[in-house]
Amino acid sequence: MWNLKRVWIVLVSATLLYANAIDIEEYEEVQQDKQMPARKPFNYSNVVLPRPTVGLLYPRESEMREVRSLDGVWQLIKSNASDPLQGIREEWYKQTLRSTEHEIILMPVPASYNDVTVDQQLRDHVGTVWYERNFFVPSYWSKDRVRTWLRFGSVHYQAVVWINGQLAMRHTIGHLPFEEEVGRFINYGNENRITVMVDNRLGNRTIPQGQVTKQPADNGVAYVQSYTFDFFNYAGIHRSVHLYTTPETYIKDVELKTQIGNQELGRIDYRLIIGNGSVSTIKTNYMLVQLRDRNNVVVAHQINHNLQNGTLLVPNVKPWWPYLMHPLPGYMYTLEFQLKVDSEVAPLDVYRLPVGIRSLSWSNDSLTLNGKPLYLRGFGKHEDSDIRGKGLDNAVLMRDFNLLKWVGANAYRTSHYPYSEESMQFADEHGIMIIDECPSVNTDLFEPQLLENHMSALEQLIHRDRNHASVIAWSIANEPRTKKKSAEAYFGALANYTRSIAQGRPLTAASNVDPPPACMMSQFLDITGFNRYNAWYHNPGRTDMIVQSMYDEARKWHEHYKKPVIVFEYGADTMEGYHSLPAYIWSEDYQTELFSKHFQAFDKLRQLKWFIGEFVWNFADFKTEQTYTRVGGNKKGVFTRNRQPKDAAHLLRQRYHAIAFKLDNASLPADLFNYIIDWN
């Protein structure tokens, strides 16, 4: 019955999309959880696997492509929380937002809308907001038979987009890009209007999950969104909006796999999808593939009449190495694809993408890059900053990478969702390794439709990030409720599916349940990860209860699953400027002491070679939902929210650089240790 109903919904929605309208009942059915089906235990073998994502190459200019930004100041109106879909019923997209009766708020894009104004209702809004702006498209874009695409880097959580009043696209799940060819909606050589409805409501089947409840309030009722995850549910158009062109026949998708062979021979295997009809109709074409080094010198090239795949060999390759593991970290080449027609000089299409060449492999006790075992020293992070919320800000992003390098980190986990594509590019260039996490956090109430959405989140993430040298593992979840027996079949199915699309990376996740055998997920992973807050949530104040406990627990995880082990989270909330001797929780002194004890445990564990990484929680302080355990947010940052160091940052820096020195002979920064005395 359930499946029939869903087939019906899919059919109706396909018809409505065609008919250029949104059906409110269907929208709510997909968006919100109505009721949980009663049938249990679930049979996950019937879940509908996600349709593979195709396209979505990062918009890059070339001689055959133009990119225009639609970032800037948009107009925004907030719908009434009691009637989030009023705008669809009243067809607000057919007119300007100004002609509705709502107050126009000016809103920067990209940014979360929550903290830009001083309006508490907008900060805590539940439901939909509507964005709008006008833009021009030159007339020559249509004449040259180009295709026009509209691409969003991410909108949280659900987006519906209209152009000139016509439905252009929809997307669900935040933090991931989506695009559509929009030429048919555009007035070329004229002004156009784009309208975006953004819905921040989370339900039992969204990724991540949340709940909206109606509660009595002084002026009637209030709609309250609650969630168990520990970061603010920022919403809005979070990343850049691009309008870009491709030629009629174009390079639609590129998939890369790289390897380092013997005698410094690099290898790039590529798979291509050409847009416009079948490959056979353009068989007189060929692909000129060129690899350029950092100085723009062509170091390998190839003419390939097969437009679907090929292999490029790179002699004397400069491998991609992580920061401080090699004197030349983050070496990136540019891989250039030129789609050519024999008789013509000008190519049909040109697309260039950065590529780092490296081999990645793993075993039951190691993770190796270019044949060398890795030891990861890093952070769990957040995309979070003052005023902008989760909005992309290149200044903050660059500051973060400067701090990561200052502190000597070589890795971070994109806790708890995919980070911006720009941050992935920075990670490639700086040699920072990424554990790439999908937006599943505190997942509970396991059932098939949730699994389908979870699979889709991973599919979209892997498709987006598969070509990044920096990505060394996929994290399928953070702290799901895996003590429950019902988690076992769910994660078995999820891991099976994810492994089938994993693009040469191991699977991991962060578990916080008791040491084995309590976790019903970790058995399906290639790398065991756990989060543990010794001397914070467990035994607060007792820094004398860290070393042995951490050591024993990590060993238990390894003995049980026989996989490499990473500690993905440990740490302590710390108020900047609060000091206490002897150390007392929440003080800077306590954070420093707690770190130091963990370092002792990690050093003992490092002797056992399966222990492959330590990640502090968190890189910087970040905003959370309002609650009495958080003073202005989560304060476990090593840096403040404004990206200045707390005391513990200096200790961490000494450790991370010292590890790089011990393991990879990296040179130490001259200012790592302050002068104290001449000991001789």
List the catalytic residues.
Answer: 479
Give the residue with the Cβ less far from ligand GCB, 338 or 415: 415
User: What span, in angstroms and rounded, lies between the C-alpha atoms of 666 and 37?
Assistant: 57
Shortest gap between Cβ of 236 and ligand GCB (angstroms)? 21
Give the residue with the Cβ less far from ligand GCB, 383 or 479: 479
Q: Is 479 in the site for ligand GCB (CB under 6 A)?
A: yes
Give the residue with the Cβ less far from ligand GCB, 251 or 477: 477
Using CB atoms, what's the residue nearest to ligand GCB? 230
Shortest gap between Cβ of 626 and ligand GCB (angstroms)? 15
CB 145 within 8 A of CB 183: no
DSSP string, 602-633: HHHHHTSTTEEEEEEE-SB-B---S-TT-SSS
Residues between 297 and 336 that touch ligand GCB (CB under 6 A): none
User: What span, in angstroms and rounded, lies between the C-alpha atoms of 363 and 353?
Assistant: 30
Shortest gap between Cβ of 530 and ligand GCB (angstroms)? 10
CB 142 within 8 A of CB 111: no
CB 477 within 8 A of CB 451: no
Q: Is 478 in the site for ligand GCB (CB under 6 A)?
A: yes
* Residues in CB range of 581: below 8 A, 6 or more apart: 589
Q: Is 465 in the site for ligand GCB (CB under 6 A)?
A: no
Shortest gap between Cβ of 438 and ligand GCB (angstroms)? 14
Give the residue with the Cβ less far from ligand GCB, 274 or 519: 519
Give the residue with the Cβ less far from ligand GCB, 196 or 572: 572
Shortest gap between Cβ of 550 and ligand GCB (angstroms)? 15
Give the residue with the Cβ less far from ligand GCB, 227 or 602: 227
Q: Hey, what are 625's tokens?
A: 């939902």
User: What span, in angstroms and rounded, lies between the C-alpha atoms of 596 and 543?
Assistant: 9
User: What span, in angstroms and rounded, lies between the C-alpha atoms of 105 and 6?
Assistant: 38
Q: Is 383 in the site for ligand GCB (CB under 6 A)?
A: no
CA distances from 127 to 77, 79, 87, 133, 302 (A): 12, 7, 12, 21, 52
Closest listed residue to residue 284, CA positions, set 314, 305, 268, 259 = 305
Binding letters toward ligand GCB, positions 515-534, x by CB under 6 A? ----------------x---
User: What span, in angstroms and rounded, lies between the C-alpha atoms of 483 and 514?
Assistant: 8
| Residue 567: HSE in the Cβ half-sphere, 13 Å Cα cutoff | 29
Shortest gap between Cβ of 435 and ligand GCB (angstroms)? 13
Question: Which long-range contacts (C-beta less than 8 Å, at least 24 apart) are formed by 275-283?
Answer: 275/55, 275/147, 275/246, 275/249, 275/250, 275/251, 276/248, 276/249, 276/250, 277/249, 279/307, 279/308, 282/249, 282/307
Q: Is 574 in the site for ligand GCB (CB under 6 A)?
A: no
Q: Is 512 in the site for ligand GCB (CB under 6 A)?
A: yes
Compute how many residues bind ligand GCB; rule: CB under 6 A: 10
Shortest gap between Cβ of 617 and ligand GCB (angstroms)? 6
First to last CA, the chain: 82
Q: Is 285 in the site for ligand GCB (CB under 6 A)?
A: no
Closest listed residue to residue 157, CA positions, set 199, 113, 212, 126 = 199
DSSP string, 502-532: -TT--EEEEE-SPSTTS-SSGGG-SSEEEE-
> Number of helices (H) and strands (E), helices first, in the chain?
12, 32
User: What span, in angstroms and rounded, lies between the C-alpha atoms of 496 and 478?
Assistant: 18
Residues between 602 and 631 that touch ligand GCB (CB under 6 A): 617
Shortest gap between Cβ of 200 and ligand GCB (angstroms)? 19
Give the residue with the Cβ less far from ligand GCB, 186 or 487: 487
* 115, 180, 199, 230: residue in contact with ligand GCB (rule CB under 6 A): 230
User: What span, in angstroms and rounded, lies between the C-alpha atoms of 353 and 254?
Assistant: 9
CB 617 within 8 A of CB 674: no
Give the residue with the Cβ less far from ligand GCB, 79 or 574: 574
Shortest gap between Cβ of 102 and ligand GCB (angstroms)? 35
Shortest gap between Cβ of 478 and ligand GCB (angstroms)? 5
Give the residue with the Cβ less far from ligand GCB, 553 or 569: 569
Give the residue with the Cβ less far from ligand GCB, 238 or 636: 636
Q: Is 636 in the site for ligand GCB (CB under 6 A)?
A: yes
Give the residue with the Cβ less far from ligand GCB, 102 or 382: 382
Q: Would you report the helix, strand and coil content of the chain in percent, each value rounded to 5? A: 25, 30, 45
CB 299 within 8 A of CB 293: yes
Shortest gap between Cβ of 546 and ligand GCB (angstroms)? 16
User: What span, in angstroms and rounded, lies between the C-alpha atoms of 379 and 370?
Assistant: 23
How many other CB atoms are found less than 10 A from the CB of residue 305?
11
Residue type present at position 308: Q
Handedness of CA 421, 426, 429, 430 (dihedral sign): negative
* 634, 646, 648, 652: residue in contact with ligand GCB (rule CB under 6 A): 634
Give the residue with the Cβ less far from ligand GCB, 128 or 522: 522
User: Bridge-partner residues for 528, per DSSP?
Assistant: 565
- What region does 609 belong to: left with phi over 0, alpha with psi -120 to 50, or beta? alpha
Measured N-to-C along each axis, helices 24-31 and 2-18 cross at an angle, to the nearest 10 degrees, of: 130
Q: Is 569 in the site for ligand GCB (CB under 6 A)?
A: yes
Residues between 393 and 422 that touch ligand GCB (CB under 6 A): 416
Shortest gap between Cβ of 344 and ligand GCB (angstroms)? 55
The 3-state DSSP class for residue 337 equals: strand
Q: Is 209 in the site for ligand GCB (CB under 6 A)?
A: no
Q: Is 553 in the site for ligand GCB (CB under 6 A)?
A: no
Site residues for ligand GCB per CB under 6 A: 230, 416, 478-479, 512, 531, 569, 617, 634, 636
